[in-house]
């Protein structure tokens, strides 16, 4: 198990800057999710850790060793691809043993290791089958088995669940996390699904346009986004944003005003206020008009139009709202962002 340290990683593909000065530390045995929209550079970062890409600038350390110029095989990493990349002409057994064969591991040893890893992933009775005879979930297990069988120091996963259907995904993600904790292996997990990242990761690194916006535990990321984008990307529905003007502890939004909490008392000027749909009470506060209502059983999502901007609010399912109802929203927890830089104040 290793600790991974990335120092000022920059990657350029021709004129395109895929990654821009990423600094990140991943602790030993930690489950780190790299979260971002497609094209954000998160997979590129994973491939740099794996050694498939070479950073244009910056260094990578495993523990204290500089591995920047090492090829993947000398880094001892296990990699699981989005499409699993199982060799179609090899049986499950051959697929799993392939990495060991390349290392010229003795036959008996191979058998033992395969037995161990397949038992752990509950695929021991699939060994004679071929990839096309397996379901998506099974293929995914085989891919993980192939990555784990060589006992890597780091397990790298590139959206391994995105090819599974929604229900299976939720089942597998719990299992995957259990497995990682059981093995105590350092894992880096790339995903564009914020729910997946929140559910599985010890810490999440949010990446956008090749920049690292925030690193933190799921709770920190959720509760205290450092950047407007993080707030808007995480949570379902995501954070609401309204333009406002802060002055001496008062926030003015359109015609309405709400008091600011203590830590924001000194803020003055144009700001963006962000609040979670869960953290809103309907009562006193910001004036708006009901735009639409979606029932989700126990609760409902009410979209409210405030000065032409849409705000989503989650309220208990027993209250009735009609289109056009005038409501007042009172955010319980807010985050203020700078209007220009969109970073948290």
Residues that bind another protein (CB under 8 A): 50-54, 69-73, 77-79, 81-83, 85, 87-89, 98-99, 102-103, 146, 150
Kindly tell me which of 85 and 293 has the beta carbon lying closer to another protein.
85
Query: In the bound complex, what is the minimum distance in angstroms from residue 292's beta carbon to another protein?
Result: 33
Query: In the bound complex, what is the minimum distance in angstroms from residue 136's beta carbon to another protein?
Result: 16
Kindly tell me which of 156 and 213 has the beta carbon lying closer to another protein.
156
Burial class (CB in 10 A: 0-12, 13-18, 19+), 40: buried
Nearest Cα residue to 147 out of 108, 193, 100? 100
Nearest Cα residue to 192 out of 227, 234, 220, 231? 234
Query: In the bound complex, what is the minimum distance in angstroms from residue 147's beta carbon to another protein?
Result: 9
Kindly tell me which of 76 and 243 has the beta carbon lying closer to another protein.
76
- Residue corresponding to tokens 């609010």: 313
Residue 294: CB atoms within 10 Å: 12
Nearest Cα residue to 254 out of 302, 311, 294? 311
Query: In the bound complex, what is the minimum distance in angstroms from residue 144's beta carbon to another protein?
Result: 12
- Residue corresponding to tokens 């929604």: 166
Query: In the bound complex, what is the minimum distance in angstroms from residue 60's beta carbon to another protein?
Result: 10
Quote the CA–CA distance of 147 and 129 in Å, as a whole number. Answer: 18
Query: In the bound complex, what is the minimum distance in angstroms from residue 126's beta carbon to another protein?
Result: 19
Kindly tell me which of 79 and 272 has the beta carbon lying closer to another protein.
79
Query: Are the C-beta atoms of 310 and 237 separated by less than 8 Å?
Result: no
Kindly tell me which of 49 and 334 has the beta carbon lying closer to another protein.
49
Quote the CA–CA distance of 67 and 143 in Å, as a whole number. Answer: 25
Quote the CA–CA distance of 248 and 263 in Å, as a whole number. Answer: 12
Query: In the bound complex, what is the minimum distance in angstroms from residue 159's beta carbon to another protein?
Result: 12
Kindly tell me which of 142 and 221 has the beta carbon lying closer to another protein.
142
Query: In the bound complex, what is the minimum distance in angstroms from residue 195's beta carbon to another protein?
Result: 25
Query: Are the C-beta atoms of 233 and 194 separated by less than 8 Å?
Result: yes
- Reading the block at residue 192, the tokens are 């564009």
Kindly tell me which of 102 and 174 has the beta carbon lying closer to another protein.
102
Query: In the bound complex, what is the minimum distance in angstroms from residue 46's beta carbon to another protein?
Result: 11
How far, in Å, are 72, 178, 222, 242, 260 from residue 307 at the CA level? 54, 47, 26, 9, 20
Kindly tell me which of 83 and 135 has the beta carbon lying closer to another protein.
83
Kindly tell me which of 7 and 220 has the beta carbon lying closer to another protein.
7
């Amino acid at each position: 198990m290793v600790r991974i340290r990335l120092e000022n990683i920059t990657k350029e593909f021709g004129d395109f800057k895929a990654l821009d000065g990423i600094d990140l530390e991943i602790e030993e045995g930690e489950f780190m999710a790299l979260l971002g929209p497609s094209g954000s550079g998160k997979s590129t970062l994973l491939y740099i850790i794996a050694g498939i890409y070479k950073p244009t600038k910056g260094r990578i350390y495993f523990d204290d060793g500089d591995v920047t110029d090492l090829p993947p095989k000398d880094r001892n990493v296990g990699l699981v691809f989005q499409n699993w990349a199982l060799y179609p002409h090899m049986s499950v057994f051959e697929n799993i043993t392939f990495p060991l064969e390349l290392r010229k591991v003795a036959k008996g040893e191979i058998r033992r290791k395969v037995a161990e890893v397949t038992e752990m992933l509950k695929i021991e009775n699939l060994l004679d089958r071929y990839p096309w005879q397996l379901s998506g979930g099974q293929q995914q297990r085989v891919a993980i088995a192939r990555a784990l069988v060589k006992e890597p120091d780091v397990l790298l996963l590139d959206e391994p669940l995105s090819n599974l259907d929604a229900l299976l995904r939720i089942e597998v993600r719990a299992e995957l996390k259990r497995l990682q904790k059981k093995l105590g292996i350092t894992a880096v997990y790339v995903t564009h699904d914020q729910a997946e990242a929140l559910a599985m990761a010890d810490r999440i690194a949010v990446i956008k346009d090749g920049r690292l916006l925030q690193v933190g535990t799921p709770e920190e990321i959720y509760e205290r986004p450092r950047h407007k984008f993080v707030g808007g990307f995480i949570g379902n529905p995501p954070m609401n944003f309204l333009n406002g003007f802060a002055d001496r502890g008062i926030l003015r939004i359109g015609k309405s005003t709400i008091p600011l909490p203590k830590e924001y008392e000194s803020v003055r000027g144009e700001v963006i206020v962000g609040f979670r749909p869960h953290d809103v009470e309907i009562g006193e506060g910001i004036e708006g008009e009901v735009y639409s209502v979606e029932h989700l059983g126990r609760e409902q999502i009410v979209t409210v139009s405030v000065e032409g901007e849409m705000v989503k609010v989650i309220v208990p399912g027993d209250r009735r709202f009609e289109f056009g109802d005038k409501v007042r929203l009172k955010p319980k927890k807010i985050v203020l962002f700078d209007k220009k830089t969109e970073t948290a104040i």
